Amino acid sequence: MKPLKIGGLTVETPLVLAPMAGVTNRAFRLMVKRSGGCGLVNTEMFSSYAIKFKDPKTGYMVDWTEEERPIAAQVFGGDPETVAIGAEALQNAGADIVDINFGCPVPKVAKSNSGAVLLKDLKLCGEIIAAARKVVTKCPLTVKTRLGWREGEPTVLEFAKIARDNGADAVTVHGRYASQGYSGTADRDMIARVREVISVPLIANGDVTSPESAEDMFRRTGCDGVMIGRGALGNPWIFKETEAYLARGERLDPITPMERLEGAKEHARLLRERMGESRAAKEMRGHLIWYIKGMPGAPKLRNMIMTTGSVDEILEVLDGAVSRLKGEPES
Ligand SMILES: Cc1cc2nc3c(=O)[nH]c(=O)nc-3n(C[C@H](O)[C@H](O)[C@H](O)COP(=O)(O)O)c2cc1C
């Protein structure tokens, strides 16, 4: 495993937390960073239209801390001028990398002709990257995409060259087509073909859920970095485990149920600091399902979690679960 060099930035460990809307806010990024092994974290995506029209929610999301650096901030938009405004704003807000989204297929993003829909018009993709490159001069500019729009039509090979020619410092490829959503499996052989056509850093993404799977991704694709998304849900420790395995051949002990519960408590507290009792509780209930998956007593615990309305109540339920694991009487 070698450091990942993106433009003038060196990412010491080439393992990257994927951008995930509704997930990779400050609390989750800190969980990943503090667990160790992750070289680069991504924000949730920012709408360049919201930045342009000064939606106050956007200011709320520019919330990264020194502890999380280096941090990539992702922007989406469907026209060169607006994406350039968004990209420049994120650069000026102190992002270490600005990333443009060419892979998101959800209707909310597609409706502004942004994200994966853009893969139907590679010329426009080039114009968007060029416009952003003109203003992003202080930090690297990267792009994240899928294999193409329609299954079986790997426009990513052309896209990657266009990205390089218009100044992108790295390309991330999720090995699925937009039309697939999350069905099927990520096509690692197709990502390897991208490696053959560009020499700028390539970050490979899709279905990495274990150290072995990350190793396979590096080996099969020849990529420079591996990005992990869903594999980190309820498991921010996946980066530490993967780094130990790839750097030193070390297999760390599996995270125990107790460590999971303690981790979940920390996550809940971090969310509360950021968004207050009730919003944090709502968001945390979703995360808890992932944290407790497969744990002894998980179904009962899940039911108890679902009745909670505040972080305090969540912490109480988790403390009860910790006591039961330790065989202590509950307070
Ligand atoms: C809840 C969720 C939100 C996501 N949000 C974004 C996003 O904002 N920007 C983006 O480029 N990709 C987004 N993705 C896609 C991931 O970054 C990643 O490409 C995809 O999940 C495949 O990687 P994985 O198999 O490791 O999860 C999202 C995925 C999930 C599951």
pLDDT mean by block of 10 residues, the chain; 331 residues: 97 98 96 98 96 84 93 98 97 97 94 96 98 98 97 96 98 97 97 96 98 98 98 98 98 96 98 94 96 92 94 96 83 58
Domain locations in the chain as residue ranges: 4-248, 257-326
Return the CATH fold of 4-248: TIM Barrel (3.20.20)
- Residue 106: what pLDDT? 92
**Residue 104 annotated in active site:** yes
- Residue 18 Cα to ligand 1 midpoint, Å, equals 6
**In testing the pocket of ligand 1, which one of 32, 100, 109, 174 has its CB within 8 Å of the most ligand atoms?**
174
- Residue 132 Cα to ligand 1 midpoint, Å, equals 22
Encode burial over 14-35: b for 16+ CB neighbours within 10 A, e otherwise: bbbbbbbbebbbbbbbbbbbeb
- Residue 331 Cα to ligand 1 midpoint, Å, equals 40
Return the CATH fold of 257-326: 1.10.1200
This prediction has a pTM of: 0.97
**25 contact partners, CB below 8 Å, separation of at least 6:** 43, 44, 61, 63, 271, 274
Q: How far apart are CA 213 and CA 245, in angstroms?
A: 11
